[in-house]
Amino acid sequence: MPTDAHALGHAGEAAAANFYQRAGYEILAQGYRHGRAEIDLIVRQGAALLVFVEVKTRSGAQYGPPETFVSARKKELFRLAATHLQEEMDWRGDIRFDILAITQLSQGFRIEAFEDAFY
């Protein structure tokens, strides 16, 4: 299991991509950047739904649930980057913002998906 925060974050993002792939989503981008904003994962379900995912990975629950660490500023930057990508893609379908909360366990990860986490 990863020990430092950087390695843990990468492992969490890989677990997130795997989670969405197993659920039938297509991975479009990982680590998409626009200005100072970054979207951890962008996935598509069929031709009608584009999902922007914020992945929060923690080594344990001692500081609270991972999903509570998405600030208002982060959501604002996230929406800005998502809007830019939609314009770039000329996307006309639906969109959704998810938070994937990943907690490291002794064997693997616990993954909780919060669909439509914010707007």
Q: Report whether 65 contacts 54 (CB < 8 A).
A: no
What pLDDT, on a 0 to 100 scale, did the predictor assign at position 119?
A: 72
Q: Does a structural domain hold residue 12?
A: yes
pLDDT, tens only, 59-115: 876 777 767 778 889 889 989 999 999 999 999 999 999 999 998 888 889 999 999
Total domain count, the chain: 1
Give pLDDT tens digits for 10-28.
Answer: 899 999 999 999 999 999 9
Is residue 53 a part of any domain in this protein? yes
CA distances from residue 48 to 43, 51, 91, 96 in whole angstroms, order as listed: 11, 10, 9, 11
Q: How far apart are CA 46 and CA 81, in angstroms?
A: 21
Would residue 119 count as lying in a domain?
A: no
Residues 68/74, Cβ–Cβ less than 8 Å:
no
**pLDDT score at 42:** 97
Across residues 30-44, what is the average pLDDT? 93
Q: Domain range spanning residue 61?
A: 5-114
Residue 41 in any domain: the answer is yes
Residue 71 lies inside a defined structural domain of this protein: yes
Is 72 domain-assigned?
Answer: yes
- The per-residue pLDDT for 74 is 87
CA pair distance 85, 51, nearest whole angstrom: 11
Report yes or no on 109 lying in a domain.
yes
Neighbours of 117 (CB within 10 A): 18
Mean pLDDT score of the chain: 89
> The domain spanning residue 79 has which CATH number?
3.40.1350.10
Cα–Cα distances (Å) from 32 to 8, 13, 58, 107, in that order, read: 19, 12, 21, 29
What is the predicted pLDDT for the residue at 61?
67
pLDDT of residue 66: 66
Query: Is the pLDDT confidence value at 2 over 70?
Result: no
